[in-house]
Amino acid sequence: MALCLAGCTGPQKEYSLSSNISISNADTLAGTCQFNSIFTDITPSTNIKFKHFTGAFTQTDASLSRYMPESIGSGVAIFDYDNDGDQDILAMNSTVFPGGEPAGVITVPRLFRNDGNLVFEDVTEQALPNNPIYGMGVTAADYNSDGYVDLLFTAWGNVRLLSNTGNGQFKDVTEEVGLFSEYRQSPVNKLTTEWSTAAVFFDADGDQDLDLFVSHYVRWSPDTDVFITLDFKQKAYSSPRSYAGNTPQLYLQEQGQFVEHTQEAGIFQPTGKALGVALWDFDNDGRLDIVVANDAMRNFAYHNLGGGRFEEQAMELGLAYDENGRARAGMGIDIADYANNGDMAVAIGNFSKEPTSFFISKNGQHFRESSQQMGVASATYHALTFGLLFADLDLDGWLDLVMANGHVQPGIEQVYADESYRQAAIILKNDSGKGFTDVSKCSGDAILKPIVGRGLAAGDLDGDGDLDLVFSENAGSIRVLRNDIDGSNYIRIHLKGDSPNTQAIGARLEVKSNDIVQRRIVRTGSSYLSQSELVQTFGLGHAPRVEYVRVIWPNGDVKEIINPPINQQLTLSQASAGRY
């Protein structure tokens, strides 16, 4: 019998903060924190009815199943599936395990159509194939350049690619496009050990169409499940250290087919235990690079060399381990120009007593772990963080950091008094690039409500210009939090690229106002098993105007708009690239 603090993973030894940094934020606890965004949970009024099904069941010997995938899922996506201009919501779901009891409930992912007034209609039955899947994550992109956003589901089992037909329905084309593969199987009863997690669509080889990167977690199946306990009484969820890893996979799109190029592209890393993937252009060469957050295994960073070739450089870049040379429990991940000066930050959510990682690079050539110096470590020390996003929540022109938190072990507080299963979200306000302040306590009661947080996505659901949040909860509901801001200006940019990259994935955006240049890259993925809307939101604070918006399209074309109107969404088309 093994006794272990498990789940995603527990730290090998407890992380310690520097003596000059406190674990709590004094300003926040004193009630003096200020934040211009108040979040309100409006889920009951949205007509969204959903509960995540984990597949958990009671076995014949009356013990709980406690199968590892039960604690990991699942994600959520914000995207416009019907091209009506309103952002819709997709909630991932799971299903029963082989030998498990019948669910007795609907166990397919659910699609909710936004009517534009923050009321959603469940269109699952007419829109999605009735094909249960032990779902994990979702990424959304127009892979076939027909102008409609398609869906890729990751899962314990084979991935699923759903093509948006444009008439309100999705068609399962997984086998048709070459993504159905022979499962890796356990040696006992041939159950699958294939377990995909985060995935991203992007142009990996420079031919302008969208390719697919799929990451994988551990090689687990019910017959290889490891029994552990925290209290010598009940089974607990096992650790990734108990299982072999699995390589990410790269599929290049060739004449409508996805052809695997993992080995020849330099992606093959069989020890991977990935839960998060983010894209960024580290060296400003116009090619998107890949960072993979691994759990209890060093992170990966793939430098895009062009032509569909990559070189894994996490060690050289300083992204592989924490500042003490240890692998952490990497889960959610995001990357941003956090200081509006070209400096990049890679943020990765970790286990409790492993603060959120915050790697900073000034030149894209080397990163330094800076969570303590930036005020991130003290605010996140006790949290077990899954979903994680950079987003300008208060529209002041600086990207804040928001996190969805929740433990993996039910009843953990009965074993460790300083930990909890349900946890509040965290919002860290960006202090003009100098550091971050925990403003969770003044961001509304909805942020402080403890949940078993997993997925997290951001998008303007009500058309008022600010970013609302959607959280997914393991074995729970999804929560829609409306962002209420008073007095801040903004500009939103919706890019329409030329075929075959109709969403301009990989395009770079620059917005200058008040002598500050904000930078974004249009990307799929990031966060945890989730995807935010691809429309880009730029806060302007009280700036009365924008000097310019500059778009560097994926093929290198440039569009520049001088003195554009503010407090509205601009739609820019690549076909008319040029200086306005």
Tens of pLDDT, residue by residue over 38-84, are 999 999 999 999 999 998 877 666 568 889 999 998 999 999 999 99
CB distance 95 to 105 below 8 Å: no
Q: What is the distance between the alpha carbons of residues 449 and 481, in angstroms, rounded to a whole number?
A: 11
Mean pLDDT of the 4-22 span: 43
**Contact residues for 457 (Cβ-Cβ < 8 A; gap 6+):** 76, 77, 78, 387, 389, 469, 470, 527, 530, 531, 532, 533
The residue among 493, 506, 508, 496 whose CA lies nearest residue 460 is: 493
| 21 is a domain residue | no
CA 81 to chain centre: 19
pLDDT of residue 434: 95
| 348 is a domain residue | yes
In total, how many domains does the chain have? 1
Sheet with 478-485, strands from edge to edge, namely 37-41, 478-485, 468-473, 453-459
Tens of pLDDT, residue by residue over 451-489, are 999 999 999 999 999 999 999 999 999 999 999 988 899
Tens of pLDDT, residue by residue over 322-362, are 888 898 999 999 999 999 999 899 999 999 999 999 999 98
Mean pLDDT of the 239-258 span: 94
CB distance 332 to 525 below 8 Å: no
CB distance 405 to 455 below 8 Å: no
Mean pLDDT of the 485-510 span: 96
Q: What is the distance between the alpha carbons of residues 344 and 329, in angstroms, rounded to a whole number?
A: 21
Range of the domain at 49: 38-576
| 352 is a domain residue | yes
Residue 213 has pLDDT above 50, yes or no: yes
| 105 is a domain residue | yes
| 14 is a domain residue | no
* Count, residues in the chain: 580
Tens of pLDDT, residue by residue over 561-571, are 999 999 999 99
The mean pLDDT value of the chain amounts to 90
CATH number of the domain residue 92 falls in: 2.130.10.10
Q: What is the pTM for the complete model shown?
A: 0.92
Tens of pLDDT, residue by residue over 305-316, are 999 999 999 999
Distances (CA, A) of 397 to 28, 71, 81, 489: 22, 36, 29, 9
Tens of pLDDT, residue by residue over 125-168, are 999 999 889 999 999 999 999 999 999 999 998 999 999 999 99
| 491 is a domain residue | yes
Confidence of residue 191 (pLDDT cuts 50, 70, 90): low
Residue in this structure with the two tokens 């397919």, named with its chain if needed: 108
Residue 579 has pLDDT above 80, yes or no: no
Tell whether omega for the bond before 488 is within 30 degrees of 0, i.e. cis.
no
Residue in this structure with the two tokens 């992007």, named with its chain if needed: 202
**Contact residues for 462 (Cβ-Cβ < 8 A; gap 6+):** 117, 118, 468, 482
| 13 is a domain residue | no
**Contact residues for 206 (Cβ-Cβ < 8 A; gap 6+):** 287, 306, 307, 308
| 23 is a domain residue | no
